[in-house]
A and B are shown apart, each in its own frame.
Chain A
Amino acid sequence: MALALQTFATVKDANTALKSQGSRYLGGGTLVVRAANEGDVSVSSLVRSTDPALSSIAVTDGKVRIGASVTMAAIARHPDLSSLARAARAVGGPAVRNMATVGGNLFAPAPYGDFAVALLALDATVSTDDGEAPIETFLTGRDSNRAIVTTVGFVLPPQGDFRFLKVSRVKPKGVSVLSIAAVLELAGDGTVSAARIALGCMADRPTRARAAEKALIGRRLTKDGIAPALAAAGEGTSPITDPIASAWYRAEVLPVHLGRLLLT
C-alpha cells in the first residue's frame, strides 16, 4: 500500500498532523521507510517538517545543540564535534550516515541506536515543543512519545573525557554486538571522580551501567582499579538476542570490552 507524505514548514503544524491515526514522523527514513517497504501496514502516512532549526548544529561555550534532522555524516564532519565523530561514524555505511538522523537514532531499537548510547553517556537533554526531558527519562518513555523531537543538547566534555566503542563482526561496517560510551572525569591524583557509562544492545534500548559507574569512583584506571566495575558491568542488564549474538554472548563479552574502553 502506498504511503502518503505530508510536509510542513513548522514543527507545530507537523505535530498537529501527527495526531491522526497511523501517522508517523519521517526523519531520514532508514527505519521507517524500510518498515514500509517490508510491508508494515501500521504506518499509513508519514509527516515531516522542513523547519531549518531541525537541521542546525550550534556550539557555544562548550554547550552543544543538535537539531533532530542533523545526520550522522554532518556530525562526523563538524569541526567542533570531533570527539563525537567516532560515535557518529559507527552508524551504518556512508549512504546510511548521509540519511540517518539524530532524532531517528533516539527511537532505533537495539541492535541500533549507537549514537543514542553516546548521547546517554553525555547526559543529553531531549527537547520537543512540550518541553525538555533528560535523555534517560525520554528513552524510558519513548514508545508512547508522540511529539516531534526538535533538538538534543549537552555539554561537550573536555577532549579525552568521552570514550566510545562499538563491537561488530563485520568490519568496517556492521551491526552492533554491543556499543559502550563513557564520560569519565579524573581527579588530580588520577582516580575517577565522576563516571557515566551507557550501554547499547544490553537491553531493547540504551541503558546506564549504574553499578559499574559507582564501582569506578575513587579507583584508578588500571587493571586492578577497574576490576570491581567490570564485575558489576552486567548488573541490571537484559541483553537482546538476534542473529548477530545471543544474550548470553553479549553478557559474557561486555566486561571484556568495557575493560578495553576503560584502559585505552
Chain B
Amino acid sequence: MAKVPVQFTLNGSEKAEFIDSGTTLLHALRDKIGDTSPKGGCHQGTCGACSVIIDGELRLSCLTLAETCNGAAISTTSGLSEGGVLHPLQRAFLDTFATQCGFCTPGMIMAAKMLLDHTPNPSRDEVVEALSGNICRCTGYEPIIQAVLTAARSNSQNAA
C-alpha cells in the first residue's frame, strides 16, 4: 500500500513522516517519530496511558488516526521539561510518590495538565473528574490526586 504523508508539530517542533494509511497516532509517535512517552496500555480507549493533547484538547492517541492530525499541534509529556528543569506536575508526581511503575504517568500528567491549564486551582472533585479516564494499577490514585493538587498550589505560589 502506498504510504501517506503526515505533518504536524510535536512539542513545538515540526515533524513530517510517511506512514501506512490507518496508522494510529500512538504508533506513529512511538515507532516512527521515537517519542515513547505516550504508552500503549490497552489500545481500546479504556486506560488513558496514551493520552496526548491535540490542538488544546486531551485525546487518546491509540484511537486517533495519525492522518487526521495533519497540521495539528501535539503535546506529549516528553515536551514538558524545559532546559532540564521538570514541569511542576512532573516535580509533584516525584515528590508525592505518585508514580510507581510509571506506565500510567505520562497519560495522567497530560490529563492533569489539561485540567490545570483551564482550572489553575481545582477542587479535589475536579481533579478526580479530570483523571477519570486514566487507570493506574499501582498507586491507588490518592498520591496522584495529591500530586495534582500540590502542582496547582506550587503554580499559584510561583505566580504570586
A36 within 8 A of B: yes
Among B28-36, B61-69, B94-102, the stretch in contact with A: B61-69
Of the listed stretches B52-60, B81-89, B140-148, name the one at the interface; the rest are far from the partner chain. Answer: B52-60
Q: B44 contacts A94, CB within 8 Å? A: no
Bin chain B's interface residue count: 20 to 34
B residues within 8 A CB of A98? 57-59
Asked if A37 is at the interface of the complex by the 8 Å CB criterion, the answer is yes
Q: Which residues of B contact A94 (CB under 8 A)?
A: 58, 111, 114, 129-130, 132-133
For B111, what are the chain A residues with a Cβ–Cβ distance below 8 Å?
94-95
Contact, CB under 8 Å: A5 / B60: no
CA distance in complex: A95, B134 (Å): 9
The answer to whether A73 and B57 touch across the interface, beta carbons within 8 angstroms, is: yes
Interface of A is mostly: mixed
Q: Which residues of B contact A34 (CB under 8 A)?
A: 43-45, 63
B154 in the interface (beta carbon within 8 A): no
> Does B133 contact A99, Cβ atoms closer than 8 Å?
no
Size bracket of the A interface: 20 to 34
A56→B48 CA distance, assembly (Å): 28
What separation, in Å, do the CA atoms of A172 and B131 have in the docked complex?
Answer: 10
B65 and A33 form a contact (CB under 8 A): yes
| A95 CA / B111 CA spacing, docked (Å) | 8
Closest chain B residue to A38, Cβ basis: B44
Q: Is the CB of B48 within 8 A of A95?
A: yes
Does A70 count as interface, using CB distance less than 8 angstroms?
A: no
A173 touches B132 (CB 8 A): yes
Question: Would you call the interface of chain B mostly helix, strand, loop, or mixed?
Answer: mixed
Interface set, chain A 31-67, CB cutoff 8 A to B = 33-34, 36-38, 46, 48
Q: Is B37 positioned at the interface, with any CB of A under 8 Å from its CB?
A: no
In the complex, are the beta carbons of B45 and A4 less than 8 A apart?
no
The one of B1, B133, B134 that contacts A2, using a Cβ cutoff of 8 Å: B1
Which among A33, A34, A93 has the greatest number of chain B C-beta atoms within 10 A?
A93
Query: Would A33 and B64 be within 8 Å (CB), given that A3-B21, A3-B22 are in contact?
Result: yes
**Contact (Cβ within 8 A) B59 A93:** no
Closest B residue to A1 by CB, please name it: B22
Cα distance, A122 to B146, chains bound together (Å): 41
- How distant is A250 from chain B, measured CB to nearest CB, in Å? 22
How many angstroms between the C-alpha atoms of A98 and B114 in the bound complex? 12
Chain B residues with CB below 8 A from A36, complex form: 22
Query: Which residues 10-41 of A have a CB within 8 angstroms of B?
Result: 26, 28-30, 33-34, 36-38
Point out the residues of chain A lying under 8 angstroms from B45, CB to CB. 30, 34, 92, 95-96
Chain A to chain B: the 5 pairs with minimum beta-carbon distance, closest first? A93-B133, A3-B22, A173-B132, A37-B43, A4-B21
List chain A positions with a Cβ less than 8 A from chain B.
2-5, 7, 26, 28-30, 33-34, 36-38, 46, 48, 73, 92-96, 98-99, 172-173
A to B CB contacts below 8 Å, 12 in the list: A2-B21, A28-B63, A30-B60, A33-B65, A34-B43, A92-B45, A93-B134, A95-B111, A96-B133, A98-B59, A99-B59, A99-B64
For the complex with contacts A34-B44, A37-B44, 14 further pairs of A-B residues with Cβ separation under 8 Å are A2-B22, A29-B65, A38-B44, A46-B22, A92-B133, A93-B48, A93-B133, A94-B111, A95-B51, A95-B58, A98-B59, A99-B60, A99-B63, A172-B132
